[in-house]
Amino acid sequence: MRRPGKLIILLVAAGVLAGGWLVWGIIARKAGRTPQYVTTRVTRGTIMSAVDATGELKHGRQEYIYWEVTGTVTQLLVGAGDTVREGQLLARLESQEARDRLADAKDSLEIARIKLSKAEEAFKTARQDAELQYERAKADLAAAVLRLEEIKEGAGAPELETARSNLRAAERAYQAAEKEFALNEQLFAEGLVAKKEYDDSLQALEAARDQVTTARLRLEDLMKPPDEKELAVAGAAVRQAEINLLLAERQLETVETHRYEELTAAQLEYRKHQRVLAEAEKLVESLHLRAPFTGLVLTINAAEGEEVVATSRGQETFLPFMILASHDRWEVQAYVNEEDVVKITLGMPAEIALLAKEDRVFAGRVSSVGAEARVSSNIVTYPVTVQMEESAEFFRPGMSADLLIIIEQKEDVLILPQAAITKKGGRSMAQVLQNGKTQLVPVETGITGNGMVEIRSGLDEGAEVVTGVREAAAPGGRPPAVRVNFPGIRIRR
């Protein structure tokens, strides 16, 4: 395939040679010879702008399989070179570590479940308990305020009258008991009543005396002015009741939020342990190694009875337990120079020719354009991967491949060989031959590729354009030299 650098050489040489048309014409006329032009015509056709590169055929999907836990290989069911189906059991591993993790995860989840259940119950009853506590605080405050008011105001007239009435009744009862006792005392002395009757009358007299004393003290208390110490105690009781009510109000306002936070924390903890259990179950399940896709077993780096260690995917410290490659997915990876890689985008079509079978061209599309440069001999290149859209039985990893990545393609457009276009004053020009005379005509060009250039305007289909000059016959019959505007080509006829 043509290398990108050749295109640059072609354009430069074409410009130099085209610029020599006029010089050669002048020299030819001075030498008495008439120049003969080599021409081509503007035609319609297909033009393609592309980037070519060489690369290497690889499996489109290649997986390095590692064990996720340390253990012993108890059964190996496939060998290197075997074709396996997706989901097929490849090997079995025994690992006490994985089973211990599963048991611990189950225990932790059960503890988290119990905590969550308690938090849910506390959230349900929190409002009811807070309301009950609030009502109690209100009642306590009302009682404390009432007691303080009673102490400040002292006894009222009804209460004093009741106390006096109680005292009078107690005194009458005492007088009656006193008379009853005096009678029983005399009769007992004469032997007319039993000792029990005498004792009962004495107890009744003493009880009546106590009632009189109690009634009198109560009346005296009611008639006294308020006690300052008692007032201070009652006031302190009111203030404490107010504080308790305020705390109960705040508790009522925040109890649901507080309990909700506790419930949310318990829920998060429970979900975390659910994930831990799921991971532990997945780890135990991974002891039965299954093929992630249908493909070919390339290598196996352990045998039955050998111990393997847990290794992260992609870790290069240890060899993978197994390498599996796809059968039906292939790709070509090539390195493209920095001037061309900027033209390439994902999804661009490509044509692939393998050195092993050059008579067949395969289709593909760009699947990735790397960002990490590779520098070799001061040439900067970037990796480009093309996904093959077809496969063949003869495909082997490492086969050499030529890529042609199609940047743009146009059909049924006016085209000319690139050698027919020159630059003058920064404009594209074509030397048109008409009636034996040449004339430089400005043209607008489009895409280039395969040595051709698109003509957007300035020339019509069928126009005859000079691409080179053939010298007139020299004296002595010397064959004329044909000068064509293709770099490095000089044809003598």
293's tokens: 């896709």
User: How far from 47 is each of 343, 413, 427, 463, CA to CA, in Å?
Assistant: 17, 8, 21, 18
More confidently predicted of 113 and 472: 113
Predicted confidence band of residue 15 (pLDDT cuts 50, 70, 90): very low
pLDDT at 18: 45
Among residues 370, 148, 351, which one has the least CA distance to residue 242?
148
The helix or strand, by DSSP H or E, that contains position 150, with its residue range, turns out to be: helix 96-153
Summarize pLDDT for 299-340 with one digit per residue, the tens: 999 999 999 988 765 555 578 899 999 878 899 999 999 999
Indicate the range of 354-368, 444-458, 463-477 predicted with least confidence: 463-477
Dihedral of CA 72/78/81/87: which sign? negative
Predicted confidence band of residue 248 (pLDDT cuts 50, 70, 90): confident
pLDDT above 90 for 219: no
Among residues 364, 351, 327, 282, which one has the least CA distance to residue 98?
282
pLDDT above 60 for 131: yes
Mean pLDDT over 142-170 rounds to 84
Mean pLDDT computed over every residue of the chain: 85
Instruction: Name the CATH topology of 4-51+338-364+406-492.
Output: 2.40.420
Residue 196 falls in which region: left (phi positive, over 0), alpha (psi -120 to 50) or beta:
alpha
Share of the chain above pLDDT 70, in %: 86
Mean pLDDT over 61-83 rounds to 91
pTM above 0.85, yes or no: no
CB 48 within 8 A of CB 405: no
pLDDT above 50 for 479: yes
Mean pLDDT over 266-292 rounds to 94
CATH architecture of 105-264: Orthogonal Bundle (1.10)
Domains 4-51+338-364+406-492 and 105-264 share a fold: no
More confidently predicted of 484 and 56: 56
Among residues 268, 267, 261, which one has the least CA distance to residue 116?
267
Q: Helices 195-223 and 157-190 meet at what angle, rounded to 10?
A: 160
Summarize pLDDT for 448-461 with one digit per residue, the tens: 887 899 999 999 99
pLDDT above 50 for 5: no
Indicate the range of 12-26, 357-371, 434-448 predicted with least confidence: 12-26
User: How far from 310 is each of 27, 301, 318, CA to CA, in Å?
Assistant: 83, 14, 10
CA within 13 Å, CB half, 175: 5
Predicted confidence band of residue 12 (pLDDT cuts 50, 70, 90): very low
Predicted confidence band of residue 213 (pLDDT cuts 50, 70, 90): very high
**Which pairing describes strands 83-84 and 43-59: parallel, antiparallel, or unpaired?**
unpaired
Q: For the domain bounded by 62-95+287-325, which CATH number is listed?
A: 2.40.50.100
Per-domain residue ranges of the chain? 4-51+338-364+406-492, 62-95+287-325, 105-264
pLDDT at 375: 94
Mean pLDDT over 139-165 rounds to 83
Mean pLDDT over 289-296 rounds to 92
pLDDT at 55: 95
CB 350 within 8 A of CB 364: yes
pLDDT at 125: 83
pLDDT at 297: 93
Which residues, other chains included, contact 58 with Cβ-Cβ below 8 Å and sequence gap of 6+? Answer: 330, 331, 332, 333, 397, 398
